Copies of this chain bind each other. A is one copy, B any other.
Amino acid sequence: MSDPTSAPWLSDDEQRAWMALTTVLTTVPAAIDAQLKRDSGFNFFEFTILSSLTQAPGRALRMNSLAHLACASPSRLSHAVSRLEKHDWVTRRTTDSPVGRWVEAVLTDAGATAVAAAAPAHVREVRRLVFDVLTPEQVEQLTQIGYQLLRAAAPHLTACMEVPAVRPPT
């Protein structure tokens, strides 16, 4: 099928895999975002921010650390935190210290309540979309494939993989 003399086109197997991947890339985030938005008022990215703050000591994190945890650009994070502030789920706090001055995002009580209320349905949706339809072997395969793709697409973001986004309440 391919024409190796002109350019390295995709084989039929690769075509199928690429088709499957692109369609997943389109539909899965949309489904996850739709459920969260509908049931809780925030999207997956905002949920990740709130969730990260829940885990943090004092429910506060520097903008920079938060951006790394959420694999986001400073700009995207800033806009998102501004949105969350409008809903009183988060506040910004400027901290001065001997070693410098920085901005922290702080989870409010309302934010903590909202994210705790949102988590169960979110996890159910993740199960419904992903883990209910995959065997344990496929889950392991997906993890490996994900790591490989990530190393190629965003090697500097491998740090994101180390901290889980959702944790059961302790």
Chain B nearest Cβ from A130, distance in angstroms = 6
Interface set, chain A 132-148, CB cutoff 8 A to B: 132-134, 136, 138-148
Given known A23-B154, A31-B153, contact A131–B14 (CB-CB < 8 A): yes
Q: In whole angstroms, how far apart are the Cα atoms of A150 and B2 in the complex?
A: 27
Q: Please give the distance in Å from A104's CB to the nearest CB on chain B.
A: 24
Assuming A10-B123, A152-B128, A152-B133, is B27 touching A146 (CB within 8 A)? Answer: no
- The one of B128, B134, B136, B160 in contact with A145, judged by C-beta atoms closer than 8 angstroms, is B134
Q: Which listed residue, B126, B132, B141, B149, touches A141 by the CB 8 Å rule?
A: B141
With a cutoff of 8 Å between Cβ atoms, the chain B residues found around residue A164 in the complex are 10, 12, 15-16, 18-19
Copies of this chain present = 2
Contact check, A165 vs B130: say whether CB atoms are below 8 A apart: no
Determine how close the nearest CB of chain B comes to the CB of A150; give it in whole angstroms: 6
Q: Can you list 29 contacts pairing A with B, beta carbon distance less than 8 Å?
A: A1-B168, A3-B169, A7-B124, A8-B124, A9-B167, A12-B164, A15-B166, A16-B161, A17-B142, A18-B126, A19-B164, A20-B145, A20-B147, A21-B130, A21-B146, A23-B157, A24-B146, A24-B150, A25-B25, A25-B29, A26-B71, A27-B150, A30-B153, A31-B153, A134-B145, A134-B149, A138-B141, A138-B144, A138-B145
For the complex of A and B, 3 pairs with smallest distance between CB atoms: A20-B146, A27-B154, A15-B164
Show the binding face of A for B, using Cβ within 8 Å: 1-3, 6-10, 12-31, 44, 71, 119-120, 123-124, 126-134, 136, 138-154, 157, 160-161, 164-169
